Amino acid sequence: MGHSHSHSHSHTNMKDRNLIISILLNIIITASQIIGGLVSGSLALLSDALHNFSDVISLVVSFGASKLSKRKASIYRTFGYKRAEILAAFINASTLVIVGILLIVEAVERFQNPQEIESNLVIWLSAIAILANGFSVLLLKRDANTNLNMRSAYLHLLTDMMASVAVLIGGLLMKYYKIFWVDSLLTLLIALYLVWVGYDLLKKSTRILMLFTPDQVDIKEVLRAVHKLPKVKKLHHVHVWCLNDDELHLEAHLDLKEDIPITEFNTVLKQIEDILHNEFEINHVTIQPEFNKADPKDIIVQD
């Protein structure tokens, strides 16, 4: 059996520091918006505060998962806590969807019973929230491109910044044109967007947790590439999955054309590893070599 490893660790102290700064900023924003929303009577401001509170939870979960993911593997946890960040992304995506649904219900109720709103407070608090969330978005943007956990935190902050922009526009319309129903409309639009981005992230994290084949890997193409090697008869019992954002695994049985010694198999294995890494970015390979073994030769077998 052959097994190869190619690790890439993207977690740094800088990432954790950025998360802590974002957590503190969002605690301040949430507290100020709750007070401001109650004083002004603005549902959009309160909905933004609720979203900001979900940001705080999201960022705390992301920070905890980032710390956990760095813990070493052991005989009791052979993968360590590498999946902690995917689980955090799943939790954060779920909160985005739940918060979005709650806001839709509140917006519909407020449409039926519109209220006059103190727009000056709405304008100032939303402007402060835009600046604070914008800063947090910039802090997390780089890691969001390569890490699903950081992407979930980043999306929470990005959508909240957009929500604050919408609330600011609503505050200006209420102040100068007395259009108070715009508060409910903006709340509804914010909520729909939350559900949309949350569902997409929820789908991605669920696929990883369920060990589904990654979208970027075509197993039939993998087989074609490996079958071109002269000593290879058939690759079967294939499983391809993501452990986390950095590790893409393949395990399979390899039926060989000849009864070759282990030293010769090592050469074949190295060729397979190079193909899988260079063409499909698969960086963890486990191959079980076989010759004339009586077992199912299907590509996918329910073990």
Residue range 190-213, pLDDT digits in tens: 788 888 888 998 999 999 999 999
Q: In what order do the strands lie in the sheet with 284-290?
A: 2-4, 284-290, 248-256, 232-242
C-alpha distance across the termini of the chain, in Å: 18
Band (239; pLDDT cuts 50, 70, 90): very high
C-alpha to C-alpha distances, 127 to 37, 169, 251, nearest whole angstrom: 14, 10, 52
| Cα distance between residue 73 and residue 82, in whole Å | 9
Amino acid 303: pLDDT: 64
Band (116; pLDDT cuts 50, 70, 90): low
Cβ burial, residue 202 (10 Å; 0-12/13-18/19+): buried
| Cα distance between residue 9 and residue 283, in whole Å | 13
Band (187; pLDDT cuts 50, 70, 90): confident
Three-class SS state of 215: coil
Tokens representing 190 are 């914010």
Q: What are the structural domains of the chain?
A: 2-209 (1.20.1510.10), 219-290 (3.30.70.1350)
Q: Lowest-confidence range among 135-144, 172-181, 248-257?
A: 172-181
Three-class SS state of 1: coil
Residue type, 38: L
Amino acid 10: pLDDT: 43
